Amino acid sequence: MRRIFLYFFLIIFLSFNSEVRADNLRIIDGDTIELNGERIRFSGIDTPEPKQICTLDNIEIFCGNLASIVLKEKIGNEIVSCEREPEKDFFGRTLGECFINDESLSKFLVRNGYAFAFVKYSKKYVEDEKYAKKNNLGLWAMEFEFPWDFRKKK
């Protein structure tokens, strides 16, 4: 009985936590990665869509692509570990929070202004967003539309 419990515990633990080298990882967009074929959507944040345009000094920037580039540079060749949530999102993606060297990628993106606190689902990153906005970081230095407003127009 103890062996069955231990086996069950290991399955649950491994399904909610994983460490994967960056070469086993693919950046889908600023708030979604793929680890060994599993798509993980960063819960509690939202980044602009890949075709979404922001402007900085009258220069158009694909700000969704910018968020993806920042995420890719942050990860580099580091090991990524993720804490998965039991529920999936609307599109069937795993929801979770991913880390490198114990630093939350979601917190990093929001605090540096490349993602927004998705308060419809979580208030976890509100203070980080306030910090980025106050310091005019990332997208906060540009003219932008929140991603959820951009998607409504499609």
How do residues 63-84 score in pLDDT, each as one tens digit?
999 999 999 999 999 999 999 9
Q: Which residues contact 148 (CB under 8 A, 6 or more apart)?
A: 46, 118, 120
Q: Is 18 left (phi over 0), alpha (psi -120 to 50) or beta?
A: beta
Q: Which of 57, 60, 45 is nearest to 147 (CA)?
A: 45
Proportion of the chain above pLDDT 90, given as a percent: 80
CATH number, domain 2-152: 2.40.50.90
Asked if the model's pLDDT at residue 100 lies above 70, the reply is yes
